[in-house]
Amino acid sequence: MQLKVQGLSVRYDQATVLNNAALEVGKGEVVGIIGPNGAGKTTLLRAIVGLVGWERESLKGTVGGKITLRGSVLLNGEEISHLPPNEIVRRGLVLCPERGRPFREMTVRENLEVGAYLARSKAVVEERLARVFELFPILEERQNQISGILSGGERTMLAISRSLMSDVQLLVIDEPSVGLAPLVKDLLCERIKDIHRMGITVPVTEQDIGFAFKLIQRSYVLSQGQMIASGTPEALLSDDMIRKTYLGL
């Protein structure tokens, strides 16, 4: 599945959060979107999966701030920026949010089953459960536990697994390593590589450059809402200005 973003801009009232962003993710790629906190990475992902557009419509007639969204998002050549989030999920584009955000009062298994709400049959749900339990055995062990007591790393594993319970072809992951211990980061990096080997295209945002560069094939650098560079990890690290100013290295 291919993704192309052209001229994407987002404004909240008078604040420009994203300014004319453009990127392309080819079928089967693992592509990074890196930059510091507040660069606009999460807004970019939320706009891609239709959440910003949905928020704009939902705020009409309320006391909420004005949201302006411009630009286009193409999925396999089809314009999807006008579609609601549920229709975008039906097309195979799924967002895994930062810090997981499970339904805390529900069990691990119940959270996973929520992710499979579009599944055609119980057999399909069981097949997908087996796939995610193979990726993350700890979730199988804890499938009957309340999700609110999981560790940060386990919540991230659950969020990724819940995303995989849909018929996902392009999995957008927002800041997967945030707040995690080094050993958990290493495990997560390997599991994301395994997901890529399943044939799933994976754009991923990150602040942790070391984590990102172990994982991605190429990356975009986002700063203050603007794309200011792109290239392979090696190319970005060879640019002194990019390395020192934007990568903090």
Alpha carbons 104 and 99: distance in angstroms, whole number: 12
Mean of the per-residue pLDDT values for the chain? 91
How is domain 3-100+168-246 classified at the architecture level of CATH? Answer: 3-Layer(aba) Sandwich (3.40)
Alpha carbons 18 and 20: distance in angstroms, whole number: 7
Find out whether 88 and 35 touch, Cβ atoms under 8 Å.
no
Residue 130 binned pLDDT confidence (cut-offs 50, 70, 90): very high
pLDDT at 36: 86
What angle (nearest 5°) sits at the alpha carbon of residue 44, between those of residues 237 and 148? 100
Which residue would you say has higher pLDDT here, 241 or 166?
A: 166
pLDDT, one tens digit per residue, over 36-92 is 888 999 999 999 999 998 877 665 544 456 889 999 999 999 999 989 999 999 999
Please name every residue paired with 173 in a beta bridge, in sequence order, or none if there are none: 96, 204
pLDDT, one tens digit per residue, over 190-239 is 999 999 999 999 999 998 989 999 999 999 999 999 999 999 999 998 98
Alpha carbons 159 and 173: distance in angstroms, whole number: 9
From the number of C-beta atoms within 10 Å of its C-beta (0-12, 13-18, 19+), residue 243 rates as middle
Alpha carbons 236 and 219: distance in angstroms, whole number: 8
Indicate if the pLDDT at residue 246 is higher than 80. no
pLDDT at 59: 57
pLDDT, one tens digit per residue, over 106-124 is 999 999 999 998 887 899 9
pLDDT, one tens digit per residue, over 222-234 is 999 999 999 999 9
pLDDT at 63: 45
Terminal Cα distance for the chain, rounded: 33
pLDDT at 239: 87
Handedness of CA 63, 65, 68, 74 (dihedral sign): negative
